[in-house]
Amino acid sequence: MPGSLFPQDFLWGGAIAANQAEGACFEGGKGLSIADVIPYGANRHPVKMGIEKRFKLRDDEYYPSHLAIDFYHQYKRDIALMAEMGFSVFRTSIAWSRLFPRGDEVTPNPEGIAYYLDLFNECKKYHIEPLVTLCHFDVPMHLVTEYGSWRDRKMIDFFVTYAKACFEAFDGIVKYWLTFNEINLLLHTPFSSSGLVFEEGENSEQVKYQAAHHQLVASALATKIAHEVNAQNQVGCMLAGGGYYPWSPKPEDVWAAMEKDRENLFFIDVQVRGYYPAYAQRIFRENKVTLLVTEEDEQILKNTVDFVSFSYYASRCASADMGDGTNLSINAAQSLSSPYIKQSEWGWGIDPLGLRLTANMLYDRYQKPLFLVENGLGAHDKLNEDGEIIDDYRTDYHRSHIQALGDAIADGIPIMGYISWGCIDLVSASTGEMSKRYGFVYVDKDDQGAGSLTRIRKKSFWWYKKVIASHGNDLY
């Protein structure tokens, strides 16, 4: 659109993930995945952290992913809603265990392929580009119980077989790919992000960094194969973003903030540059980590990504002594509560300028096109007497963040698109709640799994439709 801050080919849309939306956990030949054994309630946190083993389902627990929002059956209606808002991109993930129920098979489950072909073609029918994540908190459970998940090198081959099957089956339909969602969360929530469980007394840092290495090699190999299958394919890495502010100008606090940033950027440094950053050796040394890296691995890592995608919900804050203030967990990362930043109902800071800062920092560091693939506000929504949801707080959040992204574009950064998280209400990854809602579309379901699953357009639905129609010019 002439005069718009956003480039002509800028993509607008929303995102979901298979494990938080599809449900149909035992249909279509799907195998059990890590998300399916993570319960709602008090046991959720220790299971997500890999502290408590949950290899089998229990009768006394509720597992939100089993039904989720039933997107598996309702996707045609849901995609039509996204098309009604004018989406030009729809981000979802493939459930690895729908294609490879155990994970170590050599050929994919045809029913799984057929399902995703239908889904992606449905998007194309409305001229919506699918942006597909291969692994969004979703590892087949068999790979966990048989191989210890990503701690085993064999995972590289299993993942590559899976990735290749996807690139071939959806060739010409899907062009934008992400390998691992929020790859840096492996360090923060090792089971829910990567299927890692720890034995008592073992060096968990050793396990995590070796697993990270296997993922980085698998990601690089998948990137290479994506390009071989179709030179048009574009592959991105995906960072759980949000930079750290120092708690004070004290040099030690500034250093602490840089250290925290590096913990996350470590992954992206490898995926963009093709080799480990210099500071990695010190991290390994200090954590008594001995990384097994072959010469072949080093060559493979040189297959770098085409673009850098990231999620941004909130900025974070660090000090030399993290005991200085109230501790928060923001998208699984530890943070101090900043007096300058308002918080959501779940304690995630609302900081649009932090988005502009993050985008600038990422571009200065990598000089690759950026793609904001998750941004949104988790909030309690209430139906009023007329059955409507007046969610102006959500509109305010998106408006200020789209403005900040526009500012980042004006700063000279190439940004491929804006993707809201949870364009339709879905299961929260951190808490398993339904009541932490992000959508422009409401789904009638509660935290215990009861509800009609009816979809209702919220007030923000009409707002986002207008934003997209005006190509970001009309944000009110």
Contact positions toward ligand BG6, by CB under 6 A?
17, 20, 181-182, 240, 311, 331, 374, 378, 421, 428-430, 436
CA–CA distance, 382 with 276 (Å, rounded to integer): 48
- Shortest approach of ligand BG6 to residue 433 CB, angstroms? 8
The SS3 assignment for 311 reads: strand
Q: Is 286 a catalytic residue?
A: no
Q: Which of 182, 200, 286, 298 is catalytic?
A: 182
The residue with its CB nearest to ligand BG6 is 430
CA–CA distance, 425 with 428 (Å, rounded to integer): 9
Helices vs strands, H then E, count in the chain: 15, 16
**For residue 466, what is the enclosing H or E element?**
helix 459-469
- Shortest approach of ligand BG6 to residue 71 CB, angstroms? 14
- Shortest approach of ligand BG6 to residue 373 CB, angstroms? 9
Cβ proximity to ligand BG6: between 22 and 182 the closer is: 182
CA–CA distance, 69 with 444 (Å, rounded to integer): 9
Cβ proximity to ligand BG6: between 113 and 373 the closer is: 373
> 343 burial class (0-12, 13-18, 19+ CB within 10 angstroms)?
middle
Cβ proximity to ligand BG6: between 237 and 429 the closer is: 429
- Shortest approach of ligand BG6 to residue 164 CB, angstroms? 24
CA–CA distance, 339 with 414 (Å, rounded to integer): 32
Cβ proximity to ligand BG6: between 138 and 261 the closer is: 138
Sign of torsion, CA 453 349 46 42? Answer: negative
- Shortest approach of ligand BG6 to residue 182 CB, angstroms? 5
- Shortest approach of ligand BG6 to residue 422 CB, angstroms? 6
Q: What angle do CA 223, 23, 32 make, to 5 degrees?
A: 65
Sign of torsion, CA 304 265 378 41? Answer: positive
Cβ proximity to ligand BG6: between 4 and 435 the closer is: 435
The type of residue at 124 is K
Torsion of CA 353, 356, 357, 363, to 10 degrees: 180
Cβ proximity to ligand BG6: between 32 and 38 the closer is: 38
Q: Which of 374, 385, 388, 433 is catalytic?
A: 374
Cβ proximity to ligand BG6: between 31 and 378 the closer is: 378
Contact assessment for residue 303 and residue 224, using Cβ atoms and an 8 Å cutoff: yes
Q: Is 252 a catalytic residue?
A: no
- Shortest approach of ligand BG6 to residue 421 CB, angstroms? 5
- In angstroms and rounded to an integer, the radius of gyration of the C-alpha atoms of the chain is 21
User: Residues 6 or more apart from 13 whose CB is under 8 A from it?
Assistant: 82, 87, 88, 89, 90, 91, 128, 131, 417, 418, 419, 420, 423
Q: Which residues are catalytic?
A: 182, 374
